[in-house]
Structure 1
Amino acid sequence: MKIILIGYMGSGKTTIGKALSKQLNVKFLDLDDYIEAAEKSSINEIFKDKGEVYFRKKETEYLKEVLNRKENVVLSVGGGTPCFGDNIRFINEATPNSIYIKTDLNVLCDRLMKERDERPLIADIAPEEFQEFIAKHLFERSFFYNQAHHKIGNQYKSVEDVVLQIRKLLV
């Protein structure tokens, strides 16, 4: 069984994924961590040194690699992963358990403002333009996110509540 968590950066995919994998006693994998290990470079360095186009090509390559494995896994993908190439199709064909972790704009902005330096796509966004940028970006990506088999809102819910909701959805 593969469970794939998608959603905007800061939506809690990694936190939820780790808790879910622990409950199900299956491996947790964060695609960004997998890419960093394979490339022997951080996501920030890849973006800086080789650019977003290179990163997105490698991201698709590594996504396919993980999806083709014959192991049970909870996989958290980067916020942009489903939005490039045919990645959302690859995800949905690999499992009936693709789940969009949907998070309120204000919650995302609060979380991401604290993590700006660690996230190359938002590191240089001015504070006064931050919420508008996130809102626009989220709107553009929501077309892809909404293609997930399941959608779960996580605002005002504990990690445990979201994990329980996911467990009830699993095919």
Structure 2
Amino acid sequence: MKNIILIGFMGVGKGSVAREMVKQADVVAIDTDDIIESMENRTIKKIFATEGEKYFRDIEAKVAKWLEKSVEDTLISTGGGFYKVKNLKKIGTVVFLDSPFDKIYERIINHPKAQNKLKKRPLFQDIDKARELYEERYPQYKNVADITIDVTDKSVEKIVKEILKKVKL
């Protein structure tokens, strides 16, 4: 099995889907944002605040190179902008979790830990800018994806079943 890479806009549910896939498919899962926070010994929010987005994207590129060379048979959950790394297709099969912006925002604000969810997403601090970013990224997500899964109003269990049908595990 090649790696499976989950991409999509921040808050679409990549982490939740990864955790459920671990249960259903007995796969190992890693998260690129968690790797970056471990490498930097600070949160994504602090990295953005002190170093800026370019610095963060440079770290993502380093993580992508490491994934390509060192990781196999793994489910990789990514940050919202990870799809831009140059070697994405060399890392594995790219699965785009697709949902309209308003549904993503609704999912976040209706979450029991909504304040934490919003706080840890630096690019979601201004809703209009977040929507603009979504509209800019959406066609790019579709373009790089090998598989697109519509996650709108579906349970995490159903999303995982759809992914497992389309990806040879």
Where 2:148 maps in the other structure, the secondary structure is strand
* Distance in 1 separating the partners of 2:71 and 2:53: 29
Aligned-pair distance for 1:133? Answer: 2.9
Find the partner of 2:155 among 155, 158, 164.
158
User: Are the aligned partners of 2:44 and 2:120 in contact in 1 as well (CA < 8 Å)?
Assistant: no
Q: State TM-score, norm by structure 1.
A: 0.86
How do residues 40-79 of structure 1 correspond to structure 2 at under 5 angstroms?
40-79=41-80
User: Are the aligned partners of 2:64 and 2:91 in contact in 1 as well (CA < 8 Å)?
Assistant: no
* Distance in 2 separating the partners of 1:70 and 1:133: 34
Where 2:17 maps in the other structure, the secondary structure is helix
User: Are the aligned partners of 1:100 and 1:151 in contact in 2 as well (CA < 8 Å)?
Assistant: yes
Find the partner of 2:124 among 115, 122, 125.
122
* Distance in 1 separating the partners of 2:73 and 2:155: 25
CA shift digits 1:131-152 (9 cap, x unpaired): x433321111113211210000
Change in Cα spacing, 1:47 to 1:111, as seen in structure 2 (3 Å) is same
Q: 1:139 aligned to 2:144?
A: no
Aligned-pair distance for 1:70? Answer: 4.1
* Distance in 2 separating the partners of 1:4 and 1:62: 13
Identity %: 31
Where 1:152 maps in the other structure, the secondary structure is strand
How do residues 27-46 of structure 1 correspond to structure 2 at under 5 angstroms?
27-46=28-47
Where 2:5 maps in the other structure, the secondary structure is strand
* Distance in 1 separating the partners of 2:45 and 2:71: 30
* Distance in 1 separating the partners of 2:47 and 2:129: 22
Name the counterpart of 1:16: 17
Name the counterpart of 2:82: 81
Where 2:124 maps in the other structure, the secondary structure is coil
Where 2:160 maps in the other structure, the secondary structure is helix
* Distance in 2 separating the partners of 1:49 and 1:134: 20
Question: Which structure 1 residue ranges, 5 or more long, are not aligned?
Answer: none
